[in-house]
């Protein structure tokens, strides 16, 4: 809806006074109380910080410390829905019962008509839902009700909760009810997607006939569309409403209105394929389930879903048949960037015996299903399983095909991540089938394949690791292991002390000094297993939460996601490599320093200084070579200068 008139300032002022920023933002973002304010994930960028957005009830303002957006209730709705100022003000005026005044009073009636149009569509959908619910319990709905209660084993409470109903078999039954009894204009019923014009151009007929009806709601619980399942052999088995002003299939997730609070509390979302899978899970007390509607899960839907889970923990539970596997692969491809950069902690649950969630719960308990959730593999493990499934690796062509497919998959992972290193190692182990010598060769070969693929890209290679990136990665890993693997704290501390490592990045240095101060205050050994040492992370989280800027900078260290945890599965190896990476970068900096001095001086006039610089440069080169030999890594200098070094650890 767009407006072509000017809203009176009095209306705007009243809307601004009555609209509550917390109510409005909380409909789109899960907010948590934080002192006098509320915090949540910012919906305006793809960051992973679940506390970047601050909402202040006192100031009636929101602000994101990452992307720097800010404003009040009106601006929030304008930005998130891409709507005009006037449209948002009119919607809020209707919501908060603010009388509408315009600069031209004669326009008021036109405004009210435009505001009420969507409301009338919602009214039509609500009347239709009630009509279908009533028909379900009428004699003509007996078969549909038996299908729900007997075959689907649904309770009356579940049927009522999801407002399930029945569309009678007549060609004009619903239309007669809405148009003749309720006096709804035919054009509005058609616009709601409930009737279809006859090909002859003579009248309309009901879109849904003799079907079990499943209402599809928006996040506020308003019916915006329907899914209809045939009760016989009629095709298609499932028929959805068409795209309307209220309904866009690619942006709606079924049962989100019921699931969003549970997703927030459990910090987990389950995505299933079908309506009845989602409903069955809710009936079993697993209320974090939502369903797609015949389309692949896309990036927009995933971003919508991620607003409600702080750790971005999503489990795809699609059918185990070929169609289900294809759907899972399409879903992963639909938000590939979010998956491979670690924004989404994605797992894939394939049900045993090829069952779907609905069938499984008919024979097993909800706790048994929860156990399956706990053991669901990370998406990369699942995809590698799919690649190797049914392959005879003793056959040369099958072996080559499988190894190439795995290399192509791993090439999507960030180059400087230990997540990638872990999967190179584990994939080589699986391909080798227990042959330790072959496993080592395969690991080297996989690294070589990935490196070659990287340099052959037409885009600038993102794998050129700058000194800043290398230091950030290495220092992050050292601190993460120290914080989240208490049994290795002494090893980390001794390695840092022995090699005289200093944290170069200010936020890392601040955290390390804070850790040492806390331990010194408590007179606790660095290797201690005392309760204080075990609760060190919690102490730091509380301490940093009091400083929003500090908490933002240390988010990736104090809270460990699945991707990072997998990348740290071999802590001592990670520590050794991280120390080596820091030393390597420091060598490069010193080498560059001496090279710059050599270039800046007249070494012909002062040959002794020139020889001294060359000796220092050579000393640093030798030290770099020793570092890499120590951990068994080759150093590749593509450009011949230290600035473009690639550290492939």
d(CA 288, CA 261): 8
What CATH code is carried by the domain that includes residue 192?
Answer: 3.90.980.10
Range from 291-305, 441-455, 522-536, 630-644 that averages highest in pLDDT: 291-305
HSE-CB at 598 with a 13 A cutoff on CA atoms is 16
More confident residue, 525 or 244: 244
| Other Cβ atoms closer than 10 A to 267 | 16
Query: Is residue 138 domain-shared with residue 154, that is, in the same domain?
Result: yes
Q: In what order do the strands lie in the sheet with 37-40?
A: 32-34, 37-40, 53-56, 61-64, 70-71
Query: Is residue 555 domain-shared with residue 622, that is, in the same domain?
Result: no
Residue 318, C-beta contacts closer than 8 angstroms, at least 6 positions apart = 271, 272, 273, 324, 325, 327, 328, 331, 348, 350
Distances 389 to 275, 298, 430, 436 between C-alpha atoms, Å: 29, 26, 12, 22
What CATH code is carried by the domain that includes residue 28?
Answer: 3.90.580.10
d(CA 456, CA 448): 12
Residue 283, C-beta contacts closer than 8 angstroms, at least 6 positions apart = 154, 155, 158, 361
Q: What percent of the chain has pLDDT over 70?
A: 83
Among the three residues 247, 282, 312, which one is the final residue of a domain in this structure?
Answer: 247
621, part of any domain: yes
| Other Cβ atoms closer than 10 A to 391 | 14
Q: Provide the pLDDT for residue 229.
A: 96
Tokens of 500: 């005289």
pLDDT at 54 over 80: yes
Range from 88-97, 173-182, 286-295, 348-357 that averages highest in pLDDT: 173-182
Query: Is residue 175 domain-shared with residue 219, that is, in the same domain?
Result: yes
Among the three residues 516, 546, 570, which one is the final residue of a domain in this structure?
Answer: 570
Query: Is residue 356 domain-shared with residue 320, that is, in the same domain?
Result: yes
Query: Is residue 134 domain-shared with residue 260, that is, in the same domain?
Result: no
Number of domains in the chain: 6
142, part of any domain: yes
Model confidence pLDDT, tens digit, residues 389-421: 889 998 999 999 999 999 989 988 877 666 787
Query: Is residue 241 domain-shared with residue 116, that is, in the same domain?
Result: yes
Angle between helices 418-432 and 436-455 (to 10 degrees): 130
d(CA 139, CA 123): 26
Helix and strand numbers, DSSP H then E, in the chain: 29, 15
Query: Is residue 238 domain-shared with residue 119, that is, in the same domain?
Result: yes
Residue 636's pLDDT band, with cuts at 50, 70 and 90, is very low
Whether the CB-CB separation of 51 and 40 falls below 8 Å is answered with yes
Model confidence pLDDT, tens digit, residues 189-213: 999 999 999 988 889 999 999 999 9
Whole domain around residue 179: which residue ranges?
Answer: 112-247
On average, the pLDDT of the chain sits at 81
Query: Is residue 264 domain-shared with residue 236, that is, in the same domain?
Result: no
Going along 1-111, which residue ranges are E strands? 32-34, 37-40, 53-56, 61-64, 70-71
Query: Is residue 427 domain-shared with residue 485, that is, in the same domain?
Result: no
554 phi, psi to nearest 5 deg: -105, 10
Query: Is residue 219 domain-shared with residue 315, that is, in the same domain?
Result: no
303, part of any domain: yes
Residue 163's pLDDT band, with cuts at 50, 70 and 90, is very high
Q: Which of 169-178, 486-495, 540-549 has the lowest mean pLDDT?
A: 540-549
310, part of any domain: yes
157, part of any domain: yes
Return the closest-CA partner of residue 234 out of 169, 292, 283, 331. 169
Query: Is residue 561 domain-shared with residue 592, that is, in the same domain?
Result: no
Alpha helix (H) residue ranges in 485-530: 489-498, 506-522
Largest CA distance in the chain: 107
What CATH code is carried by the domain that includes residue 314?
Answer: 3.40.1360.10
Model confidence pLDDT, tens digit, residues 498-541: 888 888 887 788 888 888 877 766 554 444 444 344 577 777 77
d(CA 378, CA 562): 9
152, part of any domain: yes
Q: What is the DSSP string of 430-453?
A: HHHTT-HHHHHHHHHHHHHHHHHH
Q: Which of 131-135, 400-404, 581-585 has the lowest mean pLDDT?
A: 581-585
Query: Is residue 70 domain-shared with residue 175, that is, in the same domain?
Result: no
d(CA 300, CA 48): 15
Q: Which of 45-49, 90-94, 620-624 has the lowest mean pLDDT?
A: 45-49
394, part of any domain: no
The secondary structure of residue 100, as a DSSP letter, is P
Among the three residues 81, 103, 125, which one is the final residue of a domain in this structure?
Answer: 103
d(CA 213, CA 228): 5
- Label the pairing between strands 345-348 and 313-317: parallel
Q: Provide the pLDDT for residue 245.
A: 87
649, part of any domain: no
């Amino acid at each position: 809806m767009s407006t072509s008139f000017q809203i009176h300032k009095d209306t705007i002022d009243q809307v601004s006074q009555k609209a509550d920023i917390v109510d409005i933002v909380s409909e789109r973002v899960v907010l948590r109380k934080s002192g006098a304010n509320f915090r949540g994930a910012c919906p305006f960028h793809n960051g992973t910080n679940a506390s970047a957005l601050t909402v202040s009830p006192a100031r009636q303002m929101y602000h994101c410390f990452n992307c720097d957006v800010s404003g009040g209730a009106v601006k929030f709705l304008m930005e998130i829905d891409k709507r005009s100022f006037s449209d948002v003000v009119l919607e809020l005026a209707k919501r908060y019962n603010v009388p509408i005044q315009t600069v031209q009073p004669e326009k008021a009636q036109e405004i009210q008509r435009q505001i009420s149009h969507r409301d009338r569509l919602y009214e039509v959908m609500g009347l239709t839902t009630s009509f279908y619910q009533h028909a379900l319990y009428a004699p003509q709905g007996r078969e549909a009700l038996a299908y729900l209660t007997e075959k689907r084993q649904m309770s009356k409470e579940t049927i009522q909760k999801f407002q399930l109903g029945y569309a009678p078999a007549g060609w004009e039954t619903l239309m007669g009810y809405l148009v003749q009894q309720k006096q709804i204009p035919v054009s509005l019923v058609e616009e709601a997607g409930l009737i279809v014009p006859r090909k002859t151009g003579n009248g309309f007929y009901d879109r849904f006939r003799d079907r079990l009806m499943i209402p599809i709601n928006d996040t506020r619980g308003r019916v915006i569309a329907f899914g209809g399942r045939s009760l016989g052999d009629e095709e298609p088995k499932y028929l959805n409403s068409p795209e309307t002003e209220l309904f866009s299939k690619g942006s709606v997730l079924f049962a989100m209105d019921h699931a969003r609070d549970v997703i927030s509390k459990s910090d987990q979302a389950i995505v299933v394929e079908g309506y009845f899978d989602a409903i069955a899970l809710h009936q079993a007390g697993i209320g974090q389930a939502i369903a797609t509607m015949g389309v692949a899960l896309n990036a927009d839907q995933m971003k919508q879903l991620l607003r409600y889970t702080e750790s971005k923990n999503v489990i795809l539970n699609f059918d185990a048949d070929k169609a289900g596997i294809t759907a899972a692969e399409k879903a992963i491809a639909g938000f590939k960037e979010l998956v491979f950069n670690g924004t989404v902690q994605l797992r894939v649950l394939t049900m045993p015996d090829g069952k779907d969630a609905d069938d499984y719960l008919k024979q097993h308990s909800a706790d048994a299903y929860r156990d399956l959730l706990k053991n669901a593999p990370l998406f990369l493990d699942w995809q590698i399983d799919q690649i190797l499934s049914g392959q005879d690796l003793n056959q040369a062509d099958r072996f080559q095909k499988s190894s190439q497919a795995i290399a192509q998959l791993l090439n999507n992972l960030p180059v400087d991540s230990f997540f990638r290193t872990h999967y190179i190692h584990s994939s080589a182990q699986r391909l080798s089938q227990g042959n330790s010598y072959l496993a080592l060769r395969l690991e080297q070969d996989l690294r070589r394949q990935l490196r070659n693929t990287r340099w052959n890209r037409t885009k600038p290679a993102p794998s050129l690791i700058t000194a800043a990136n290398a230091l950030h990665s290495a220092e992050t890993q050292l601190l993460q292991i120290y914080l989240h693997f208490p049994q290795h704290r002494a090893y980390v501390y001794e390695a840092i002390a022995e090699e005289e490592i200093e944290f170069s990045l200010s936020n890392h240095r601040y955290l390390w000094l804070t850790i040492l101060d806390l331990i010194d205050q408590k007179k606790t050994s660095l290797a201690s297993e005392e309760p204080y040492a075990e609760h060190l992370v919690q102490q730091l989280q509380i301490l940093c939460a009091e400083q929003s800027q500090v908490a933002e900078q240390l988010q990736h260290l104090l809270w460990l996601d699945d991707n990072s945890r997998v990348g740290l599965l071999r802590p001592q190896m990670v520590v050794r490599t991280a120390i080596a990476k820091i030393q390597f970068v420091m060598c490069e900096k010193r080498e560059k320093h001496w090279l710059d001095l050599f270039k800046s001086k007249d070494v012909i006039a002062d040959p002794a200084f020139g020889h001294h610089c060359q000796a220092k440069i050579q000393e640093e080169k030798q030290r770099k070579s020793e570092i890499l030999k120590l951990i068994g890594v080759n150093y590749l200098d593509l450009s011949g200068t230290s600035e473009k070094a690639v550290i492939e650890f």
